[in-house]
């Protein structure tokens, strides 16, 4: 009998330990007053807990068979054992669901689309898609190539016309091209064409204006047009020694600045130059952010307004394309960099049916003293 009790304590202990690990891993952010993000430690705790639960359940089945053998399937099981086994399978199902939702990269499961959000404020923080028939652009709107999805929108407002440049995933070549859509009111959009197609993958088309001419920075290279919004041609590479992911360029106080992610999008680097084409100098505070995938990677163009700076950051934990945060840059010089997070809630989080699983980019433009319009993406 002691042997039976020891075996029972073993599988019961393993299952309870596994449940405890899973519950603590799932809830510890909430218990500490933070938004749940399921980082690396959380994932490790969930995986370890699931392993303990599985081992405990196997030992339970072996004990049942050892006690009852041929009568295994008709054996009497005490109420508390049945209850514990029920909790076991419910927990496994929950862990399996979380694993599917949080561990698998969601952007491989559904196509990205582009929507329009608005903000009625002098600050570009409180955006909403209410009253707009989102998404305004999907893969079905692309007419000149077979598209898998559209994403990474950048807005330009020029001559009372809105121009949107964005990634079009070409299903035939399995790489990104850059597409163009145009709108007169910012709400209703007409797709035009692919404006840039290279042998390599293209995404995150950061379009900016310098000396009255338009440039595009993407895939570590500069492009320029003399026939805006089409006619883009390669002019030079970025010539940056480190990896450059989602490079975002902007001008502030007569200096050009370059933000880019490196590594696994968990590190933010800053460079500066006298001209938009460089040469670029590495900021002495680099890395600006290190080892934080929740706020490092650029999530759209930097907004300069009323002598203030706002950068948007992709949150790529627990999965790529989770949500977007805003940070106001409070100090930016060749010697120093400081920023503060805007609010305790993300600027973008999918709640509007078409984007409930995630959002990862915003491109706002100001069209009035208290009016902003932004292109966003989601799935």
DSSP 246-261: EEEEEEETTEEEEEEE
Contact 119/125 with Cβ under 8 angstroms? Answer: yes
Structure tokens of 242? 């480190």
Helix (H) and strand (E) counts in the chain: 3, 19
Q: What's the mean pLDDT in 109-126?
A: 90
- Closest by Cα among 327, 319, 333 to 379: 319
| pLDDT for the residue numbered 64 | 65
| Start-to-end Cα distance in the chain | 57
* In the predicted structure, residue 103 carries a pLDDT above the cut 50: no
User: In this model, does residue 40 exceed pLDDT 60?
Assistant: yes
Query: What share of the chain in percent tops pLDDT 90?
Result: 65
Range with the poorest average pLDDT among 34-43, 97-106, 299-308: 97-106
Question: For 56-89, b where at least 16 C-beta lie within 10 A, e where not — what string?
Answer: bbebbeebbeeeeeeeeeeeeeeeeeeebbeebe
24 band by pLDDT with thresholds 50, 70 and 90: confident
Largest CA distance in the chain: 88
Spatial separation of the C-alpha atoms in residues 312 and 341, rounded to whole Å? 10
- pLDDT above 50 (res 309): yes
d(CA 237, CA 89): 55
142 alpha-carbon distance from chain centroid: 23
Q: In this structure, how many other beta carbons lie within 10 angstroms of the beta carbon of residue 105? A: 10
Using the predicted structure, report yes or no on whether residue 343 has a pLDDT greater than 50.
yes
On whether the CB atoms of residues 128 and 359 are closer than 8 A, the answer is no
What is the Cα–Cα distance from 362 to 114, expressed in whole angstroms?
10
Angle of helix 40-68 relative to helix 79-98, nearest 10 degrees? Answer: 150
The answer, yes or no, to whether residue 15 has pLDDT greater than 70, is yes
Give the helix ranges, DSSP H, for the chain. 2-31, 40-68, 79-98
pLDDT for res 16: 78
Answer whether 327's CB lies under 8 Å from 295's CB. Answer: yes
Give the mean model confidence (pLDDT) for residues 25-54.
66
pLDDT of residue 266: 94
Q: Give yes or no for residue 68 having a pLDDT over 80.
A: no
Q: How far is it, in rounded angstroms, from Cα 6 to Cα 12?
A: 10
CA distance 246 to 226: 24
Residue 18 predicted with pLDDT over 90: no
What are the start-end ranges of the E strands in 211-336? 213-218, 221-227, 230-237, 245-252, 255-262, 267-273, 281-282, 303-305, 308-315, 323-332
Per-residue model confidence as pLDDT tens digits over 345-364: 999 998 888 998 899 999 99
Residue 44 banded pLDDT, cuts 50, 70, 90: confident
Question: To the nearest 5 percent, what fractions of the chain are helix, strand and coil?
Answer: 25, 40, 35
Section 281-297 average pLDDT = 96
Residue-wise over 335-369: b if at least 16 C-beta within 10 A, else e? eebebeebeeebbbbbebebbebbbbbbbbbbeee
Question: Which pTM was predicted?
Answer: 0.73
CA 371 to CA 379: how far, in whole Å?
26
pLDDT value for 92: 57
* 349/357 Cα distance (integer angstroms): 9
Cα dihedral sign, 253-255-258-259 = negative
């Amino acid at each position: 009998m002691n042997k039976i009790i020891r075996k029972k304590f073993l599988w019961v202990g393993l299952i309870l330990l596994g449940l405890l690990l899973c519950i603590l891993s799932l809830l510890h952010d909430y218990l500490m007053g933070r938004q749940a993000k399921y980082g690396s430690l959380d994932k490790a705790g969930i995986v370890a807990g699931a392993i303990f639960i599985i081992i405990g359940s196997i030992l339970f089945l072996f004990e049942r068979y050892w006690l009852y053998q041929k009568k295994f399937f008709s054996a009497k099981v005490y109420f508390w054992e049945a209850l514990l086994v029920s909790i076991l399978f419910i927990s496994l199902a929950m862990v399996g669901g979380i694993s599917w939702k949080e561990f698998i990269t969601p952007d491989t499961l559904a196509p990205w689309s582009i929507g329009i959000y608005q903000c009625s404020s002098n600050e570009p923080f409180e955006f909403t898609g209410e009253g707009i028939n989102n998404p305004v652009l999907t893969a079905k709107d692309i007419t000149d190539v077979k598209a898998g999805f559209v994403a990474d929108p950048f807005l330009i407002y020029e001559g009372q016309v809105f121009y949107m440049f964005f990634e079009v995933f070409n299903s035939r070549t399995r790489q990104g091209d850059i597409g163009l859509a145009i709108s007169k009111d910012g709400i209703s959009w007409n797709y035009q064409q692919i404006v840039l197609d290279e042998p390599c993958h293209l995404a995150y088309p950061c379009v900016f204006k310098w000396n009255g001419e338009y440039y595009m920075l993407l895939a570590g290279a500069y492009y320029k047009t003399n026939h805006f919004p089409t006619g883009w041609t390669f002019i030079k590479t970025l010539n940056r020694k480190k990896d450059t992911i989602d490079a975002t360029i902007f001008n502030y106080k007569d200096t050009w600045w370059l933000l880019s992610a490196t590594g696994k999008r968990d590190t933010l680097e800053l460079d500066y130059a006298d001209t938009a084409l460089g040469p670029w100098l590495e900021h002495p505070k680099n890395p600006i952010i290190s080892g934080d995938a929740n706020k490092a990677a650029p999530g759209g163009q930097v907004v300069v307004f009323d002598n203030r700076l706002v950068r948007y950051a992709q949150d790529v934990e627990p999965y790529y394309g989770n949500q977007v945060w805003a940070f106001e840059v409070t100090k930016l010089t060749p010697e120093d960099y400081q920023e503060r997070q805007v609010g305790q809630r993300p600027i973008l989080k999918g709640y509007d049916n078409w984007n409930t699983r995630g959002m990862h980019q915003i491109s706002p433009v100001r069209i009035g003293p208290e009016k902003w319009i932004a292109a966003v993406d989601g799935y």
